[in-house]
Amino acid sequence: MFSKACEYGIRAVIYISSENKAGRKVSIQEICEAIEAPNHFTAKILQILSRNRIVNSQKGVHGGFYLDKFQSDLKLISIVEAIDGRALFTGCGLGLKQCSEKEPCPIHDKFKSIRNALKNMLEQTTIEELGKKLKTGKSVLKTLEE
């Protein structure tokens, strides 16, 4: 449902949140390793998120990415909207341009309920709550080695 950029963006912000203690800033290399994402692509995504004030960045030796209290309280939908826009919440599940309530595609009604449930979850879930789940080991962001 999300673009690859959006997936990496969500994962990166959750990781930054999980490491967001006492002024700690995380480097792009650390983020990419933690979320199994390509460095250059992830850096571009984090630039978008920084421009949209979803993450902060600081250059220099002690630089990196971090969140302030306001950003930690943001909902996941802010990340999705910054990267993918709002089309996910209005578009056709089959990608048809003419799909509507009056002329629905074959999956219109079922997809609409899934789309609305996803939107509700994104609107109700904070970055901080997912960062805490990651930090306490209740969730993961990359494949666990067996």
Average pLDDT over residues 36-55: 97
Residue 24 lies in a domain: yes
Q: In CATH, what number is assigned to the domain containing residue 74? A: 1.10.10.10
Domain with 11 in it:
4-85+126-135
Residue 119 lies in a domain: no
> 41 in helix, strand or coil?
helix
Higher-pLDDT residue of 87 and 145 is 87
Average pLDDT over residues 35-64: 95
Q: What is the mean pLDDT of the chain?
A: 93
Q: What is the pLDDT of residues 72-124, one digit of tens each?
A: 999 999 999 999 999 888 888 898 988 989 999 999 999 999 999 999 999 99
Find how far residue 49's CA is from the centre of its chain.
Answer: 9
For residue 145, the model assigns a pLDDT of: 63
> Would you call 5 exposed, middle or buried from its count of C-beta atoms within 10 A (0-12, 13-18, 19+)?
middle
* Residue 26 pLDDT level (bands cut at 50, 70, 90): very high
What's the number of domains the chain is made of? 1
DSSP 26: B
* pTM exceeds cut of 0.75: yes
Residue 74 lies in a domain: yes
Q: Which residue, chain included where needed, has tokens 């912000």?
A: 13
